[in-house]
Chain A
Amino acid sequence: MKNKLISVVSSLALLVLLGGCNDSWEEHTRLSKDVKDVTVLQLLEGESRYTDFVALLKETGLHKDLNSELLFTVFAPSNEALAAHGGQLNGEEAKRLFVAQHISEDRILLDSFEGERLQMLNRKYVALDAEAHTVDGKALNEQVSVVRNGVVYGLEGVLTPLPNIWNYVSEVAESSKYVDYLNSLTGLYFDPELSEQVGFEDDQIVYDSVFVSRNLFNMEVADLAEEDSVYTLFLIGDAAFDGEFQKFKGYFRAYTDKNLEPDSRDSALIRSEISRNYIFKGAFAPDALPAELFTIDGVRVSVDAAQITSSFEASNGYVYHLESCPVALEDKIPVVTIEAEQLARYFGVATSAGNDDGAAQGYLRSNPMASGGYDYVLDNHITGRKLVNGLILSGGKLPSVRYQVYWRAVNNFRTSMRNPNDNVLRQRLGTVSAIQRDEETGEPISFGPPNTGSISTSFYDVLLTEYSDDPLADETYIGVFNNSTYEEVFFQLVPEGESTRAMAATLDYIRLVPLFN
């Protein structure tokens, strides 16, 4: 009987032990034979045709990444392809650049790949044609392995990293006035991100400063060293560069009188303007170069293919050398239209009650006949006093040139929206200068009195009561504005009105037509 008891107890104990394993989960979570549970590196190491590539990976240290839990897509060149490529890999950096050209982040599956370009680990892009199974024109073979941390595609050939436009300008291109100018913009700049904050004094962060080498053109115009955007850059010959300098030197003056020879500061400004004339967004291959291009600033540039002496394909675009590529004055210094609706805020006058410009009433009026679809009315008076010094509109940075000034304004509300009377609406236009700017944004906070002699000192009647089909016919000629310095210009539209006469100001736009010398 004892034996029976023991056998029953032991069989129960056995059941308990068996219960420890949960078969259904084990079966459910067991890795299927179709899942390659290896890393990209392990897969490459396991295939004899990739031994050279694996060796390169190990030399550059990239093998560690490919053995990690991060996802990678590798276009693996075979030993034969690498051998055919030859030994052009001089230096560690070049090797790394080359190897990284074959590796991309994430698991790229051709079936679900959308787009044309793929960024590789060296930040350069390759052209991936998912339908044709090619990368930068090199065919992908049938050997595709989806593994734990990525995908490995067999590649027929190798991917060669190209230098970018900036590499070309700074390292390859021959010296010329233009090239030298661009390189001259390289200098050491303070980098707040890399700098360590060590204290705080007088409301300012104190840094243990780090300065890095940067190029001002790349920082402010177009970053030719960045792989994420593509550009086309024209480099013009010295004679043409000088010619352009002479052409524009009267119009981009900030420091010296435009009738005198520019000093070094103005010369830099003028060169900067010239250089901006030859950088275009987009990569235009030699066979797809249009006859007309528009710069980043929107200036039209005619391209004469006959002037092209050479071209260079970079990883982020193209560089062309041209003997000459003149930009017309009219294209560089166009007619300017300043829409009234761009007004962002009022600027008030100091009163005993404080700066109460908010009490002024401005009406942004929708009107399909108005330029831009809107015009503006400023109802500036309350009983006994005016509220703000009229409308102040930025005309943007205007070249140092004389402009004929027109406005288009329509009065269909008598003299004031709030206090209409039968007086004639009158207003005048002048310029003002910013006397205080916000420290952080640089936006003007307050303005000085009207600049003496600017545009017009007399008030004009606004007699037009409705817009016609021809805007030019509606315009009123105000006078000539001689802009002496190349800087941002503020226009001020002032309603006529004294303390007893409520009067508004109104405007659709101001038009500035340059008068070339």
Chain B
Amino acid sequence: MRFLKRIFVSFVLLSTMGAMLSAQEQTGEAADIEVSGVVYDAVSGLPLAFADITCPTFSSDFSDIDGAFTIRVRSLNDVLLVSMSGYHTQEVILAGRSEVAVYLQEGERSSFQGMVDFGDFSQRAAYSPRSVSSVSMPFVSSLSGKESPESVLAGAVSGLQAPSRSGISGVGSDLFIHGRRSLNTSNAPLVIVDGMIYDITAYGNSMIEGYTVNAFAGIDVDDIEQVTVLKDAAAIYGAKGANGVILISTARARQQATTIDFSMYGGLNLMPETYPLLDGPQYKTHLLDMLASAGSDYSEIRELVRESAVSGHPEYFNYNNNTNWQKEVFRQSYTSAYRLGIKGGDDVALYSLSVGFLQNDGVVEASDYSRFNLRFNSDIKFSERFTLNSNIAFSYHDKNIGGTGATSVDDVVDQARRKAPFLYPNMRNQEGYISSVLSDYDLLGVSNPVAILDNHQLRDMNYRFFGSFNFDFKLNQHLYLSNLIGLSFDKDREAIFLPSYGVRPQETPVGIITNQMKARVARHMALNNDLRLRYQRRYGFEHGLNLLGGVRMNLNDNEEDWGEDFTSANDMIRTLGNGLAILRQKGGYLGEWNSLTAYFSGDYDYLKRYFLHVGMSLDGSSRFGAEADGVKMMDGVFGFFPSVSAGWLLTSEPFLQNFQALDLLKLRAGYGITGNDDIGNYSARKYYTTQNLWSYQGVVQGNLYNPALKWETNTKVNVGLDVAVLRERLSLSADLYQNTTTDMLDWVPASEFSGFDDVLVNDGEVLTQGIDLGLQLQVLNRPLKWDVGLQVSTYNTEVKHLSTKTKETELYGATVLTEVGQPLGVFYGYRTVGVFATQAQADAADLSTRLPNTSLERFNAGDVHFVNTNPGTDQVIDENDRVVIGDPNPDFFGSFTSRMRWKGLTLDALLTFSVGNDVYNYQRRQLESMSNFANQTTATLNRWKYEGQQTDIPRATYGDVVGNNRFSDRWIEDGSFLRLKNVTLSYRLPVRPLGVQSLEVFAAANNLLTLTEYKGLDPEFSAGGYSLVQGIDLGLIPQTRTLMLGVKIGL
């Protein structure tokens, strides 16, 4: 931290001195100077005729047939702007040169000459002193079949992770920029769409286990024009910017000519991979072994299983099948999408309209996802000084989810993994005839997934309106006043019915749950107003100034209501209110939070060599406590968030002009403070909740409030380097960063007199340090053009301070440790060294475990050999023997993109990878623990059975008395993977039949190939946005492999 600060301060001082020195050099130069040069195509090296060359506000010229031009400039430190259709407009900094060779970059490739959209203004990438990634859509050709835009971002931005939540259609990804930095608050970045906050968190908790409502699904990937990811301290976003900021701008019309684009594709979702489970006969043998160890309570089932194996038994045909239950719940399915985009207008109004429809039948039976989205963006010029930009978007989706894979008696995927394969989905009679009637739950207490699929409903309907009007007044040539007012309205409804037939009844202390009816509505409304004043001016060619000040107001209203009812008279009665009153539950919450932010951002450059960015904001939120530490004004508490970045573009220096091969060399550094306001709407205020005690209603204090509660403070320091060489055939961006989260929210034990267990305070500290590397290389440039890109990132986290020093969190049978000196989210459990093959080995180790009744039980042959980490203390394997057994943070991760073009053919590929991250394979633990009657993987065929058997799978014992399956390194795996996320082959037809402007056909595939040693269905997953759940694979359904064929027509 100190080291980085020192580097930063030296850098700022050095560049300031340099600026002053060179300023002195240039005084007194004559204004009437001519510069000559030649414009070339960067790839072919051939001269380009009729390129437009201007010296802004001074002179202009065209290149001649040989690409040559001569132009008058004010100084040899002036800047030329060279533009030509199909190429990136290039700024040529003369830096003392009177003769220049200009190599224009093809517009289709990314370039440092490209513009980065910062919302209210754009800046050429070469000039930005900030740590920022900008992506122009499409990243790689079509990227078809992406239902949600965030999932493709990770492929283009270094330092950004976007693990998919699961394979449910449209369920989306969680987003993390520069890893994780907070224990109890969200790690999700702030998303701004067309200048307005796009909330991605206020959706409540889905009642469908294993499912998450995806906020991003409302944005059609094809509607996005550019995405800018701010990874450094974006101070103007105040207490919302700690996790980075993603700015999304949607498509607008740029020209008056009307264009109509129609695209469609149809695809096939391949059946997902399944776990290699025991088949019917194998499972029956396994079950008999388990039943024998389960004791006499199960002797009836044991007898039934044995007797029914004899032909002629009334249940013979019911109990002697070989059903692959996983195949009963998974399927191949179809997906299709259609989009129509119309752009055009006249000199007064420009508009862009797009309409899209998508239908994706998921890979789980009875699931489907349909989405309709509409976007209308317009730019109306009322006068030369007054314009209006409107952005109106509406999306609606309707999802039926067959099953998610979450552990539950009513989840079809989970039950299919457990269910005995010797059973059959339908009832069979004594002669073997198959009835159309499905079987009920079975003798082992496992539901019939097929019966559930026949009669259940897991439906999520969501719509979002997101619209804004931005009024823009041009006060004078340099000064603009703008006001954006917008509304976001989102409603999410869930309707759930789970039948009694086919589902194992669940016993509760107050009654038995047979069928289940649930409904939930979550509503979020946000009103935004953003008033800005912008001043943009270039003083001569030397000084550039871009100032922005504004006041942003964000008012939010959030409500969730839910009800659940159980055990109605029969499965035909499936609405709330018809269940047993004693089991009925209802609940919900109301949430309101508002924020008011005054902000300022200033960018200054001198001679386009030295760049300085200053940002600051005063951010007040209704969430902050009245006694919080901050600027107190307007009856509230405001946080002050400053940031500063500086850049030095060395290639603008005269002394580097002799290095022809060097196109760009830039050093940059930044320092800033941001905050995280995800501290709960009312954690800092006292509130009351109702309570029912023996039928008496009352009101009790609902929380132990902390009026001093404030945002988490996030201090970001970064230094970076941007290089481009060989006419930008090779370019590289490197960033070294450090994020320090202080005032981190933490639950600490409360006074025992308070009546509460713990209280939320600003206490902990977490440090994140990392490196991002982005590399672009044009391997071949003619006639086959092959561009590759590599984004690699690495980071590490360390808990620096925690008031409790150490904290253990139990999640899905795992223990996650938070301890000073350790990374965030490490797994804490037992180490193992195989299985005792012989009793002699077990006796030699002489280890025991303590049973719940406190007696000691010896580990014998066939048991797991746990490492006794405190042999001097005892020979008992207990919680004192636990150590850190895994770190879910990857060593490095990133993506690789490839684009090959040859005539009309384009082949794009996007690969993502992650190396060195440990995964807790929860699902494999369920399928290899051999402690109940659930079906298991075929690995359990190797289970220990006799004295001397060498194996790493312990003996099967019902109930697992000695705890062979406790949370240990047996369940921790290396989650490294390399995935071909998308590959697309497209062909632009040379013919234009029926008057179409362009015609392109493409074939694409998603998630076609995954190379991994990980023994789960999908190494890429996300159990949620919080730090402690990372790396926990719940075994939700894997991402689908989809093959698509499509066409794009331009009219």
The interface of chain A, by Cβ under 8 A from chain B, is: 1, 4-5, 8-9, 12, 15-16, 18-19, 22-25, 28-29, 31-32, 34-35, 37, 68-71, 105-107, 109, 111, 144, 146, 148-149, 151
B1013 touches A70 (CB 8 A): no
Report how far A5 CA is from B905 CA in the complex, Å. Answer: 10
Counting chain B residues whose Cβ lies within 8 A of the other chain, the interface size class is 35 or more
Main secondary structure of the interface of B (DSSP, over half): mixed
Chain A residues with Cβ below 8 Å from B780 are 4
B909 at the A interface (CB under 8 A) = yes
Contact of A29 among B276, B861, B905, B948 (CB under 8 A): B276
Report how far A12 CA is from B948 CA in the complex, Å. Answer: 46
Chain A residues with Cβ below 8 Å from B861 are 111
Known: A1-B783, A1-B902, A29-B938. A69 touches B281 (CB 8 A): yes
Main secondary structure of the interface of A (DSSP, over half): mixed
Q: How far is the CB of A14 from chain B (nearest CB, A)?
A: 10
Report how far A105 CA is from B860 CA in the complex, Å. Answer: 24
Contact of A25 among B280, B281, B1015 (CB under 8 A): B1015
B907 touches A9 (CB 8 A): yes
Instruction: Mark each residue of chain B from 830 to 868: 1 if its CB lies under 8 Å from any CB of chain A, else 0.
Output: 000000000100000000000000000000110000000
Report how far A199 CA is from B532 CA in the complex, Å. Answer: 89
A5 touches B1009 (CB 8 A): no
Which residues, 926 to 981 on B, are CB-close (under 8 Å) to A? 937-939, 941-942, 945-951, 980
Report how far A316 CA is from B262 CA in the complex, Å. Answer: 87
Contact of B1009 among A16, A23, A28, A151 (CB under 8 A): A16
B309 at the A interface (CB under 8 A) = yes
Q: How far is the CB of B122 from chain A (nearest CB, A)?
A: 36
A70 touches B950 (CB 8 A): no
B276 touches A25 (CB 8 A): yes
B592 at the A interface (CB under 8 A) = no
B306 touches A105 (CB 8 A): yes
B784 at the A interface (CB under 8 A) = yes
Chain A residues with Cβ below 8 Å from B951 are 32, 34-35
Q: How far is the CB of B249 from chain A (nearest CB, A)?
A: 33
Chain B residues with Cβ below 8 Å from A19 are 980, 1008-1011
Chain B residues with Cβ below 8 Å from A111 are 839, 860-861, 947
Indicate the member of A9, A68, A71, A146 with the most B CB atoms within 10 Å: A71
Contact of A69 among B282, B937, B1013, B1015 (CB under 8 A): B282
B1014 touches A24 (CB 8 A): yes
Chain B residues with Cβ below 8 Å from A148 are 285
* Given A16-B1009, A22-B273, A69-B282, 13 additional A-B pairs, CB 8 A: A5-B900, A8-B900, A16-B980, A28-B1015, A32-B942, A69-B285, A70-B309, A71-B285, A105-B306, A106-B288, A107-B289, A109-B946, A146-B949
A1 touches B784 (CB 8 A): yes
Chain B residues with Cβ below 8 Å from A8 are 900, 907
The interface of chain B, by Cβ under 8 A from chain A, is: 273, 276, 280-282, 284-285, 288-289, 292, 305-306, 309, 780, 783-784, 839, 860-861, 900, 902, 905, 907, 909, 937-939, 941-942, 945-951, 980, 983, 1008-1015
A107 touches B284 (CB 8 A): no
Known: A1-B783, A70-B306, A111-B861. A12 touches B942 (CB 8 A): no
Chain A residues with Cβ below 8 Å from B273 are 22
Contact of A15 among B905, B946, B980 (CB under 8 A): B980
B860 to A, closest residue via Cβ:
A111
Chain B residues with Cβ below 8 Å from A5 are 784, 900, 902, 905, 907
Chain B residues with Cβ below 8 Å from A71 are 285, 288-289, 292
Indicate the member of A18, A24, A31, A151 with the most B CB atoms within 10 Å: A24
B284 touches A35 (CB 8 A): no
Chain B residues with Cβ below 8 Å from A151 are 946
B1013 to A, closest residue via Cβ:
A24
Q: How far is the CB of B84 from chain A (nearest CB, A)?
A: 26
Task: List 21 interface pairs A-B (beta carbons < 8 Å), by A numbering.
Answer: A1-B783, A1-B784, A5-B905, A8-B900, A19-B1009, A22-B273, A24-B1014, A25-B276, A25-B1015, A28-B1015, A29-B276, A32-B950, A34-B942, A34-B950, A35-B949, A68-B281, A69-B281, A71-B289, A71-B292, A109-B945, A146-B949
Chain A residues with Cβ below 8 Å from B907 are 5, 8-9
A16 touches B1008 (CB 8 A): yes
Chain A residues with Cβ below 8 Å from B948 are 34
Chain B residues with Cβ below 8 Å from A68 are 281, 309
Q: How far is the CB of A266 from chain B (nearest CB, A)?
A: 43
Chain B residues with Cβ below 8 Å from A1 are 783-784, 902
Report how far A71 CA is from B283 CA in the complex, Å. Answer: 12
A106 to B, closest residue via Cβ:
B292
Chain A residues with Cβ below 8 Å from B909 are 12
B938 to A, closest residue via Cβ:
A29
Chain B residues with Cβ below 8 Å from A32 are 942, 950-951
Chain B residues with Cβ below 8 Å from A146 are 945-946, 949
A23 touches B1013 (CB 8 A): yes
B942 touches A31 (CB 8 A): yes
Q: How far is the CB of B866 from chain A (nearest CB, A)?
A: 20
A35 touches B292 (CB 8 A): no
Q: How far is the CB of B45 from chain A (nearest CB, A)?
A: 18
Going nearest first, the 7 A-B pairs with the smallest beta carbon separation are A19-B1009, A69-B281, A146-B946, A29-B938, A69-B284, A24-B1013, A71-B288
Chain B residues with Cβ below 8 Å from A34 are 942, 948-951
Chain B residues with Cβ below 8 Å from A37 are 941
Chain B residues with Cβ below 8 Å from A69 are 280-282, 284-285, 309
Q: How far is the CB of B962 from chain A (nearest CB, A)?
A: 13
Chain A residues with Cβ below 8 Å from B282 are 69
Known: A71-B285, A146-B946. A29 touches B1013 (CB 8 A): no
Report how far A35 CA is from B945 CA in the complex, Å. Answer: 9
Q: How far is the CB of B909 from chain A (nearest CB, A)?
A: 7
A15 touches B937 (CB 8 A): no
A17 to B, closest residue via Cβ:
B1009
Q: How far is the CB of B26 from chain A (nearest CB, A)?
A: 49
A70 touches B941 (CB 8 A): no
Known: A25-B276, A109-B946. A35 touches B983 (CB 8 A): no
A28 touches B939 (CB 8 A): yes
Report how far A440 CA is from B980 CA in the complex, Å. Answer: 73
Report how far A22 CA is from B1012 CA in the complex, Å. Answer: 8
Indicate the member of A8, A28, A35, A146 with the most B CB atoms within 10 Å: A28
A144 touches B937 (CB 8 A): no
Chain A residues with Cβ below 8 Å from B1014 are 24
Q: How far is the CB of B618 from chain A (nearest CB, A)?
A: 53
Report how far A22 CA is from B1011 CA in the complex, Å. Answer: 8
B307 to A, closest residue via Cβ:
A70
Report how far A197 CA is from B284 CA in the complex, Å. Answer: 33
Chain B residues with Cβ below 8 Å from A12 are 909, 983
Report how far A313 CA is from B942 CA in the complex, Å. Answer: 44
Known: A107-B945, A144-B946. A29 touches B939 (CB 8 A): yes
Chain B residues with Cβ below 8 Å from A149 are 285
Report how far A151 CA is from B783 CA in the complex, Å. Answer: 70
A145 to B, closest residue via Cβ:
B946
B1015 touches A70 (CB 8 A): no
B905 to A, closest residue via Cβ:
A5
Q: How far is the CB of A16 from chain B (nearest CB, A)?
A: 5
B937 touches A29 (CB 8 A): yes
Report how far A35 CA is from B953 CA in the complex, Å. Answer: 12
Report how far A1 CA is from B983 CA in the complex, Å. Answer: 20
Report how far A70 CA is from B946 CA in the complex, Å. Answer: 18
Q: How far is the CB of A12 from chain B (nearest CB, A)?
A: 7
Report how far A362 CA is from B273 CA in the complex, Å. Answer: 70
Q: How far is the CB of A215 from chain B (nearest CB, A)?
A: 25
Q: How far is the CB of A384 from chain B (nearest CB, A)?
A: 41
B285 touches A70 (CB 8 A): yes
B310 to A, closest residue via Cβ:
A65
Report how far A1 CA is from B980 CA in the complex, Å. Answer: 24
Chain B residues with Cβ below 8 Å from A31 are 941-942
Report how far A19 CA is from B947 CA in the complex, Å. Answer: 38
Chain A residues with Cβ below 8 Å from B941 are 29, 31, 35, 37
